[in-house]
Chains A and B, each alone.
Chain A
Amino acid sequence: MTTMTKQELQHMIAQRVAKELQGPMSVNLGIGIPTLVAEYMEDDDIYLHTENGLLGVTDVEEEDIDPNLVNAGKLPVGEAVGAAYFNSSESFAMIRGGHVDAAILGALQVDERGVIANWAVPGKNIMGVGGAMDLLVGAKKVYVTMTHTSKDGSPKLLKECTYPITSTRSVDMIFTELAVFEVTENKQLRLVELMPGAIIEEVREKTEAAFIE
């Protein structure tokens, strides 16, 4: 595990999440590891939604970059066959209204009921929330990708979030470089699998939240 670079770990997580996606479905990808998921989707019947107004996001060759065609991370993207553009309120009607099948998001912290914090850090000015809260309340499934611990090694899967929560809704699954968890119907974390190279002792040691093994 220690031999993998940060980038390799991120790709490993992205590749694992991609396995959960089976078309036909619409998926919204957040910034960071979630963006990488697109590289590993095997089903052609998955339609990527970006909240700045496009259903049918695809990658773009350098020479075809259009400055007015970007994703929510303001990165240049392409327009897939069958794509559609819409305004911001329609885009969030799709999200809040439960029409987007899955959202894949990053998180700073996750508590043992699957409630996440991913938009603000205490003690710093709160400057941005973007579409995070809308996706949390509206997407049919929410999958979280994150490194298992913070840079200083402290657990991100906690009993209670110490950062402001994004929504009272529990997410559906959590993917880290060590493990995959699902949130059960009665809002408990359950370990679904260990990632390649991970051992249960390490997961226990680096997870503060209670989870079912």
Chain B
Amino acid sequence: MTKRKQSAAEALECVKSGDTILVGGFGLIGAPLTLIDELTQKDVDGLTIVSNNLGESGKGLGILLNQGKIKKGIGSYFTSNRDVGDKYQAGEIELELLPQGTLAESIRAGGAGLGGYYTTTGAGTDLAKGKEEREIDGVTYVLEKAIRGDVALIRAHKADTLGNLVYYKTARNFNPLMATAAKTVIVEVDEIVEPGELNPEEVVTPHLFVDAIIEAKQVLTKEGVVTV
């Protein structure tokens, strides 16, 4: 069996309007730039995007934002793209801001079959408004719900054709979590190898989480995003 797809377009066939899409990356680092680029060319809208940032101005998810395809953004740091503020001000996008650790843990919980969890982060602050607060052993916690997506778009370094994944440096970030938390998980990688070529001890995402794999055509270099 191979999960390798010939193109980003083929891999993204399942994406439809109104979907919740988890998108890996910390800014452009570890973002699935090829899949995002394909998404900008697809006729879908009303998307909810779960990602730490909504790209940078005119780059990555920033393109999708400017196309008006994003209905709602869930993330921790929208400040990195000034266009997000403008869209929000104009009432063109909903935003849900979460502390970064809560964003990560909510996705982890979603992938692990949990409904939610209690965290100390944010307790007593504006970000806890409207959320249940509960005292456990004398400490105040906030109830945070799990996050799941219809689709996850992931960036890894290498995959075998079964879908085992290894990552590269700080491009790992949210990717292994998102790979567990969506109905369909699509990955782009620098290199696709045969089963047996990855060391089982070093596999970070086991293949049962992964549905489709493509080779990255848009990559982040010192000079910025380039097509390879």
Interface residues of A (CB under 8 A from B): 50-54, 65-70, 74, 79, 85-89, 91-93, 95-96, 120, 125-134, 137-138, 164-168
A79-B169 contact, Cβ under 8 Å, with A129-B76, A167-B125, A168-B124 = yes
Closest 8 CB pairs of A and B: A92-B101, A128-B79, A134-B101, A88-B104, A168-B124, A128-B77, A89-B104, A68-B171
Of the residues B79, B121, B168, contact of A127 by C-beta under 8 Å = B79
A129 engages B169 (CB within 8 Å): no
Closest Cβ of chain A: how far from B112's Cβ, in Å? 10
A86 engages B101 (CB within 8 Å): no
Residue B15 CB within 8 A of the other chain: no
A66 engages B97 (CB within 8 Å): no
B127 engages A129 (CB within 8 Å): yes
Contact with A along B168-180 (1 / 0, CB 8 A): 1111111111000
Of the residues B79, B85, B172, contact of A86 by C-beta under 8 Å = B172
Interface residues of B (CB under 8 A from A): 26-27, 29-30, 52, 76-80, 84-85, 88-89, 95, 97-105, 107-108, 119-127, 140, 167-177, 204, 220-222
Of the residues A53, A85, A89, A168, contact of B105 by C-beta under 8 Å = A89
Of the residues A85, A129, A137, A166, contact of B170 by C-beta under 8 Å = A85
Closest Cβ of chain A: how far from B171's Cβ, in Å? 4
Of the residues B89, B125, B173, B220, contact of A164 by C-beta under 8 Å = B125
Contacts of A51 in B (CB 8 A): 100-101
Question: Which residue of chain A has the shortest Cβ distance to B122 in the bound complex?
Answer: A133
B170 engages A130 (CB within 8 Å): no
A130 engages B85 (CB within 8 Å): no
Extra 8 A-B pairs, beta carbons < 8 Å, given A68-B170, A88-B173, A128-B79: A68-B30, A70-B170, A89-B107, A96-B101, A129-B76, A133-B101, A134-B101, A167-B122
Question: Which residue of chain B has the shortest Cβ distance to A133 in the bound complex?
Answer: B99
A-B contact count (CB 8 A): 143
B174 engages A66 (CB within 8 Å): no
A74-B27 contact, Cβ under 8 Å, with A68-B170, A87-B172 = yes
B173 engages A129 (CB within 8 Å): no
A-B contact pairs, 24 of them (CB 8 A): A54-B170, A66-B169, A67-B221, A68-B30, A68-B168, A74-B29, A87-B172, A87-B173, A87-B174, A88-B52, A88-B104, A125-B89, A126-B126, A127-B78, A127-B79, A129-B77, A129-B127, A133-B101, A133-B102, A138-B120, A164-B126, A167-B124, A168-B123, A168-B140
